[in-house]
Amino acid sequence: MPKYAANITMLFQEHDFLDRFDAAGKAGFQFIEYMFPYPYDAVELRAKLDQNNQTQALFNLPAGDWAGGDRGIAVQPSRQDEFREGVGKAIDYAAVLYKGVQGPKLVNVLVGKAESDEATTRKTIIGNLQYAADKLADAGLTLIVEPLNPYDVPGFYLYGTQNTLDLIEEVGRENVKLQYDFYHMQRVEGHLTQTVRENLDKIAHIQLADVPGRHQPGTGEINYPFLLAELDRLGYGGYVGLEYIPEGRTEDTLGWLKDLQK
């Protein structure tokens, strides 16, 4: 059965960030993910996890100036040193946040928007991901690569499952896997069930939100009862991150999850 993780970057926004761990705990979440830990001290974050008996499920590599429009920097030759410094920073945080965790220890990379020609961009991203994968492997970590969609993030380098799997194959490291986000992939290509069936061995993490609107399951076109039951049937035991924008209070948007767990 999947392990459902609250993405507290998106959920419980009615609370200050550090209070979201408590809110998620009260709502029954044992697993926590978020985009970036770096504005906070790792020890402080770990204390919040421990207070609520929660496990860190996922966080991202540093992704540049998010407020300024960056969505990752792995494809940008001019920022290779910054990217590689970020890998070291993520490893330092992982050593605290994942200490004692059994099972996968995941760090996600958003590759960003290209600034150069395709040949230079490809060479840069392959080199950066190989560097990151090797450093993360030494620390017992798995690097996951996430494609987005061109409507929410115009200019992003990776759209679609196959493009990302092709990149992962080029990188050629055993600890590089796919993060598969149902929301983004529904907007790009659809065929969610078939894609999961064919590529489950390459997927290390799943995220969800409904389409359109990026709200909770049941507000849009994706048949989540079927899709999540299929994950269970296929034996997927990894994380499913709830990365949606709640319509109303987060606690009031969890009925679909309670129905699944009956």
Q: Which of 85, 115, 146, 174 is catalytic?
A: 146
Task: Say how far apart CA 163 and CA 160 lie, in whole Å.
Answer: 6
Other CB atoms closer than 10 Å to residue 96's CB: what's the count? 17
Whether the model clears a pTM of 0.95, i.e. scores above it, the answer is yes
pLDDT digit string (tens) for 75-100?
A: 999 999 999 999 999 999 999 999 99
| Residue 230 bears catalytic tag | no
The CATH class of the 3-260 domain is: alpha beta
Q: Which of 189, 243, 247, 251 is catalytic?
A: 243
Name, in order, each residue with C-beta under 8 angstroms of 16's C-beta and a sequence gap of 6 or more.
none
| Residue 169 bears catalytic tag | no
From first to last of its 262 residues, the chain has per-residue pLDDT tens of 799 999 999 999 999 999 999 999 999 999 999 999 999 999 999 999 999 999 999 999 999 999 999 999 999 999 999 999 999 999 999 999 999 998 899 999 999 999 999 999 999 999 999 999 999 999 999 999 999 999 999 999 999 999 999 999 999 999 999 999 999 999 999 999 999 999 999 999 999 999 999 999 999 999 999 999 999 999 999 999 999 999 999 999 999 999 887 7
